[in-house]
Chains A and B, each alone.
Chain A
Amino acid sequence: MDDLRDLYQEVLLDHHKHPRNRGKIENASHRAEGYNPLCGDKVTIYLLLRGDVIENVTFEGTGCAICTASCSVMTEILKGKTEADAERIFGEFHDLVTSDPDSEFDASKLGKLAVFAGVREFPMRIKCATLAWHTMKAALKTPGGTVTTE
C-alpha cells in the first residue's frame, strides 16, 4: 500500500516516458481540447465511436508527467468500453483522486488507475490527473470544443 501512495512510481513514470495511444485519429468521430491554465497542460483527445462503443481513443499534447501518464492510462482503459462505462470509470477515478489521502480504496476495482492515488497528497496536482478525463467527457458531449479544468 505504501507503494501506491508514492506519486512518482514506476508505472506512472513508464506511462510518462512511453505514452500509449499518443497521436491523432484521422477519422475521429469526437474530439476535444483541454487546457489547464495552472500548469499550461494542453491535451487533445480523439475518439472513434461505433454505436456507443469506444473503438479507438488517442491523445496529443504536452503536459507534466501526471497529465501525460493520465492520458496514456485513460486511453488504454477506455478502448472497447461503452460511453456509460467511461462515465462510470471517470466517476470512480474522480472519487479516488479527490478522497482523503489517508482513506482506503479498492485497488483491485480501480486497476491501473490506482497508481494515481499518490495525487491525493498533492491537492494542487489533482487537475493534472483529471484533465484527460474532463477532456474525454467534453469530447463525448460536444465534439470540437475546448475545456479547461477551472
Chain B
Amino acid sequence: MNHDIRKNPPSAAARPLDPARIRGEFPALHQTIRGKPLVYVDNAATTQKPQTVIDALVHYYTYDNSNVHRGVHTLATRATEAYEGARRKVASFINAGDPAEIVFVRGTTEGINLVARSFTGCCIESGDEVLISAMEHHSNIVPWQILCNESGAKLRVIPMNERGEILLDEYEKLLTPKTRIVGVVHISNSLGTVNPVKEIVERAHARHIPVLVDGAQSAPHVAVDVQALGCDFFVFSGHKMYGPMGIGAVYGKREFLERMPPYQGGGDMIASVTFEKTTYNTLPYKFEAGTPHVAGVVGLGAAIDYIRGIGFPAIEAHERGIASYAVGRLSAIPGLRLIGTAKERASVVSFVLDGIHPHDVGTILDREGIAVRTGHHCTQPVMDFFGVPATSRASFGIYNTREDVDALVAALYKVKEVFA
C-alpha cells in the first residue's frame, strides 16, 4: 500500500491558493451566459471539472478501455491497474486504513442506500431505532425510512436550533439501548453547518453504536480523516469534488462490511457460483456487482490528484475567506435573511429575500450570468423548520473569488429593483 501520496509537499501547504491560475484550469468557467461572464456559485450541487479530470476520462477511453479483473490481456491489465490504483488514492484521500474498505458506488445516494440496505440485513430488527439529524438531505432520510418500514424499526430525529445546529444534549437523550446506527451529515448542503462529527461519533461509540457520515459536502472542502473522526461509514460523491458524475465511494469499517450481506448480486461479487450455492467474493468486491464505472473511478483519481496538488490547508483558508466575505456582504442587503447561521459553517450560504420567491431570484440572477441553486435543496424538513418553501443558495469552491461574491450582491440589488 502506498501512503506517500497522502502527504502534500510542504510548499503546497504553505502556498496560498491562486484562484486565477485555478480558474484557467476549468474550461467550463470561461463562457458567457446571456451575454454576461458566467459566475458559477452552485458548487454544492456539483462542481465544474478541471482539464486534468476531463483529460483522464478521454485518455482512459482513448487508450485503456477494457473491462476490469479476470482479463489477461494488456488493456485489461491497464484498466484494472488504473481502477485499483484509484481505489488506493481514495483510501489515502480520506485516510482509510485499508483500500479494501473502499467500495465504489454511483454517488452518495447510492452509497447510503447500500449501507442502509445491507446494515439492516445484518443488524436491524423490528423495534430497533435508527437515529438521524433534522438537517439531513433526503438521501439520508428516505433510504432509512424505506428500511425502517420493511424491518419494523423506528426512525428518530435529532433536533436542531434556529441557527441550524444539532442539539447535542437532545442527541445524547436519543441514544438508547435500541439505537442501532446513527446517520449524520458532515456539512449541511442547505444550511452550511459543519457538524461536530467527531463528538457525535464518540458519544455513539460510548454505547457501541456505529455512525454513518454523509460526506457529500465535506470531502471537497475539508481534509477528511476517517480514522481520526472514528466514523464507521463515510460516503461521498466524485462530482461535488471536481470529479466525474456517476461515481462515488463508501468507506466502511471492515468489521461491518464483513458482517453485512451484499447489496446487489451479479458478476464480480462472487467467489464461486453453482445453482445450489454462491460464495461471495472478498472485500470490497462483495459490494461491487457488475461492470463498474471504470472511467469514473479513473476520473475520481484524477480529481483527488488535482485537489492534493492544491492542498487542503490552502483550500480551507481560501473558502473560509470567501464564505465569511459572502456572509458579511449578503447580510448587509436590506430584506435579506440568512437561513443557517451556525457558528461552525462551510462555504454554503442560503438566503431568502423578503417577498421575493427564490425561483424569481434565481431567474433574474441567471440573466446576470450567475448560477445559484434555488429550491428546497432536497431538504424539505429543513425548509419546513425555517418556515420557507425554498431558499436561494450560493456555494463556493476553489475557483471562486471575492469578485464572484460582488457580482452576486450587485445582481441581488437588481432583483430588488425589479420587485421594488
Contacts and interface: CB of A to CB of B under 8 A. Distances in A.
A122 B376 contact: no
Contacts of A122: 363, 366
Contacts of B366: 122
B419 interface: yes
B418 A128 contact: no
Interface residues of A, number: 15
A145 interface: no
Interface in A47-61: none
Given A38-B375, A40-B375, A122-B366, A64 B419 contact: no
B357 A125 contact: no
Contacts of B216: none
A116 to B, nearest CB: 13
Contacts of A66: 359-360
A28 interface: no
B419 A39 contact: no
B389 A8 contact: no
B155 to A, nearest CB: 22
A66 B418 CA distance: 13
A38 B376 CA distance: 8
A144 interface: no
Contacts of B200: none
Contact of B390 (A8, A13, A40): A40
A38 B375 CA distance: 7
Interface string B377-409: 000000100000110000000000000000000
B364 interface: yes
A62 B359 CA distance: 13
B71 to A, nearest CB: 44
A143 interface: no
Contacts of A64: 357-360
Which bucket holds chain B's interface residue count? 10 to 19
Interface string A85-128: 00000000000000000000000000000000000001011001
Interface in A1-39: 7-8, 13, 38-39
Nearest to B363: A122
A65 B375 contact: no
Contact of A125 (B356, B359, B383, B419): B359
Contacts of B419: 8, 13, 65
A63 interface: yes
A39 B392 CA distance: 11
Contacts of B358: 64
B418 A39 contact: no
Contacts of A38: 375
B365 to A, nearest CB: 12
B364 A8 contact: yes
Interface string A63-93: 1111000000000000000000000000000
A40 B418 contact: no
B418 A63 contact: no
A7 B363 contact: yes
Interface string B341-356: 0000000000000001
A125 B375 contact: no
A66 B383 CA distance: 21
B359 A39 contact: yes
Contacts of B376: 40
A148 to B, nearest CB: 15
A46 B375 CA distance: 27
Nearest to A118: B363
Nearest to B376: A40
A128 B389 CA distance: 14
Nearest to B367: A7
A55 to B, nearest CB: 31
Given A8-B364, A8-B418, A124-B363, 13 more contacts: A7-B363, A8-B419, A38-B375, A39-B357, A39-B375, A40-B376, A40-B389, A63-B357, A64-B359, A65-B356, A65-B360, A122-B363, A125-B363
26 contacts: A7-B363, A8-B418, A13-B418, A13-B419, A38-B375, A39-B357, A39-B359, A39-B389, A39-B390, A40-B375, A40-B376, A40-B389, A40-B390, A63-B357, A64-B357, A64-B359, A64-B360, A65-B357, A65-B360, A65-B419, A66-B359, A66-B360, A122-B363, A122-B366, A125-B359, A125-B363
